[in-house]
Amino acid sequence: MLSLEEARAAILGRIRICGEVEEVSLRQALGRFVAKELCARVDNPAFTNSAMDGYALALADLVAAGFELPLRGESRCGDPPGILTRGTAMRIFTGAPLPDGADAVVIQEDIRLERGKVVFPRTVQPGQNLRRRAEDFHAGDSLYAPGRRLTAYDLALLSSAGVDRIPVYPRARALVVATGDELVAPGTPLKPGQIYESNRLATLLQLEALGVEVVDGGTVPDEPMALRALLKTCAGYDFVITSGGASVGDHDFVRQVFSEIGEIDFWRARIKPGKPLAFGCLGERGHFFALPGNPVSSLVTFKLFVEPAVFAWNHAVPDTMPEFAAKAGNGLKRHPGRTEFVRARLHLDRAGHLIATALRGQGSHQIGTLRDTNGLIKVAEDSAGFEQGDTVIAIPLSLDRL
Ligand code: AMP
Ligand code: MG
């Protein structure tokens, strides 16, 4: 049996990383992984400009003239930078270029117009209310390294840096299949002994959220013949992911059949929920995951192994499950021996402390518990549990439900 870390290292060590690059527009690049270093094309700000609506001036002139200056000219957004006439102030607006010769802007609320002059306060500081050229970044600065997954904010930044085409890794292609004689799709009435299938949809949608192009391979019965037919459709995929039938029961043929075309490792990794799990390489470029059939085990093993594998394939550091210290909202007793991921409700108390409360119904078939789950408590292999108030490791799954 492998520990969680050993199983994860074994998988990530065998990922054949993507070797191709394609170029997409900013609009198409959301969630994609950068394939080549991206550098700024321009300075930001591109020119020194005003941070406020107000009046531009030269401090030396202001002091010499006793803090009153006649008004001359105007700088508006989109104007080329003008020249400040010596001994005068210029009207200026937020984002408009600072005229040559000026070194400060005073906001309009702080001046008075008297006798045709602008009367300034005596507190003006050199450089105030200016956004200096390139104070954010310089043309040529490296903005993103390969492997970075792009968010909307990243794309806004690249847009302001003048970058319009983004080299990214092509979308990974995945085939997702559920196995099990008992599985039917919702919409069909259940016959005795049947259950509604749910893992395939969860896996498929999570992969799509990672930017993977997914083909729905449907449900395959627990028969070697049917699984061999499935094998024939696996070529050309970067990831083939099955759920169920990976164990060692009399009707669990997945690992056995996939071993006919790939080198498949099978583990009962020391994790809960989660075991059993199989992973291997298929053909020139494919990777194979057999996830456990129990719905919650399937979700947890996806987060623990498949998501990091997709990141690694895209040359990214797979830090996909950030861990935070939290206070246990209740206690939990357990037998040591496996790293456990307890479905939990995370919230901030009035003092702003992160509280993690283990939910009732931790069976790996109990998908109902997921409704209230917004995080996991990670319990170390050798731990016998925790008491209310103890510090535990919390992994947020959806911050918008915090
Ligand atoms: P298995 O891994 O095939 O031994 O399945 C373990 C448990 O998960 C059994 O109770 C199955 O009925 C259930 N199961 C397997 N596949 C799915 C699926 N795709 N959706 C929902 N439940 C499943
Ligand atoms: Mg089964």
pLDDT in tens, 99-156: 999 999 999 999 999 998 999 999 999 999 999 999 999 999 999 999 999 999 999 9
DSSP secondary structure code for residue 11 in this structure: H
Residues 6+ away with beta carbon under 8 Å from 399: 374
Q: Which among 182, 250, 294 is the best mutation to test ligand 1's pocket, defined by most ligand atoms within 8 Å of the CB?
A: 294
What mean pLDDT is predicted for residues 82-91?
Answer: 98
Strand ranges (DSSP E) for 247-338?
262-267, 271-272, 277-282, 286-291, 324-328, 332-333
Residue percentage of the chain with pLDDT more than 90: 90
Kindly report whether the peptide bond that precedes residue 97 is cis, defined as omega within 30 degrees of 0.
Answer: no
Q: Which among 176, 181, 183 is the best mutation to test ligand 1's pocket, defined by most ligand atoms within 8 Å of the CB?
A: 183
Residues with CB under 5 A from ligand 2 (ion): 180, 244-245, 293
CATH number of 4-19+171-313: 3.40.980.10
Class of the CATH-defined domain 22-43+148-168:
alpha beta
Q: Rounded to whole angstroms, how far apart are CA atoms 288 and 174?
A: 10
Q: How many residues does the chain have?
A: 402
Residue with the larger pLDDT of the pair 26 and 364:
26
What mean pLDDT is predicted for residues 249-265?
Answer: 88
Report yes or no: 367 and 293 within 8 Å, Cβ to Cβ: no
- For the CA atoms of 341, 345, 348, 354, the dihedral, rounded to the nearest 10 degrees, stands at -10
pLDDT given for residue 383 in this prediction = 98
Ligand 2 midpoint to CA 13 (Å): 29
Would you state the structure tokens that stand for residue 306, as one six-digit string? Answer: 């498949």
Residue nearest to atom 16 of ligand 1 (CA): 293
pLDDT given for residue 265 in this prediction = 85
Q: Give the nearest ligand 1 atom to 276 CA.
A: 2
pLDDT given for residue 83 in this prediction = 98
pLDDT given for residue 248 in this prediction = 81
Residue percentage of the chain with pLDDT more than 70: 99
pLDDT given for residue 1 in this prediction = 86
In sequence order, the β-bridge partners of residue 395 are: 376
Indicate if ligand 1 lies below 6 Å from the C-beta of 274: no
Would you state the structure tokens that stand for residue 299, as one six-digit string? Answer: 């979700």
Nearest residue to 193 (alpha-carbon basis) of 185, 202, 184: 184
Q: For residue 274, what pLDDT band results from cuts at 50, 70 and 90?
A: confident
Can you give the pTM of this predicted structure? 0.92
CATH architecture of the region 324-396 = Beta Barrel (2.40)
Q: What is the mean pLDDT of the chain?
A: 95
Residue with the larger pLDDT of the pair 16 and 248:
16
Q: For residue 276, what pLDDT band results from cuts at 50, 70 and 90?
A: confident
Would you state the structure tokens that stand for residue 167, as one six-digit string? Answer: 């080299």
Indicate if ligand 1 lies below 6 Å from the C-beta of 203: no
* Element at 159 (helix H, strand E): helix 152-160
pLDDT given for residue 314 in this prediction = 97
Report yes or no: 324 and 352 within 8 Å, Cβ to Cβ: no
Q: Give the nearest ligand 1 atom to 178 CA.
A: 19
Residue nearest to atom 6 of ligand 1 (CA): 293
Ligand 2 midpoint to CA 337 (Å): 25
Q: Rounded to whole angstroms, how far apart are CA atoms 142 and 159?
A: 14
- For the CA atoms of 384, 387, 393, 394, the dihedral, rounded to the nearest 10 degrees, stands at 120
DSSP codes, 354-377: EEEEEPS---TT-GGGGGG-SEEE
The pLDDT tens digits of the residues spanning 149-193 come to 999 999 999 999 999 999 999 999 999 999 999 999 999 999 999
Would you state the structure tokens that stand for residue 100, as one six-digit string? Answer: 């040559």
Indicate if ligand 1 lies below 6 Å from the C-beta of 245: yes
Ligand 1 midpoint to CA 219 (Å): 12
Would you state the structure tokens that stand for residue 162, as one six-digit string? Answer: 């003048």
What mean pLDDT is predicted for residues 347-360?
Answer: 96
Name the CATH superfamily housing domain 49-131. Molybdopterin biosynthesis moea protein, domain 3. (2.170.190.11)
Residues 6+ away with beta carbon under 8 Å from 218: 177, 178, 200
Q: Give the nearest ligand 1 atom to 292 CA.
A: 2
pLDDT higher than threshold 90 for residue 78: yes
Report yes or no: 122 and 66 within 8 Å, Cβ to Cβ: no
Indicate left, alpha or beta for 17 from its phi (over 0: left) and psi (-120 to 50: alpha). Answer: beta
Q: Where are the domains of the chain?
A: 4-19+171-313, 22-43+148-168, 49-131, 324-396
What mean pLDDT is predicted for residues 397-402?
Answer: 75
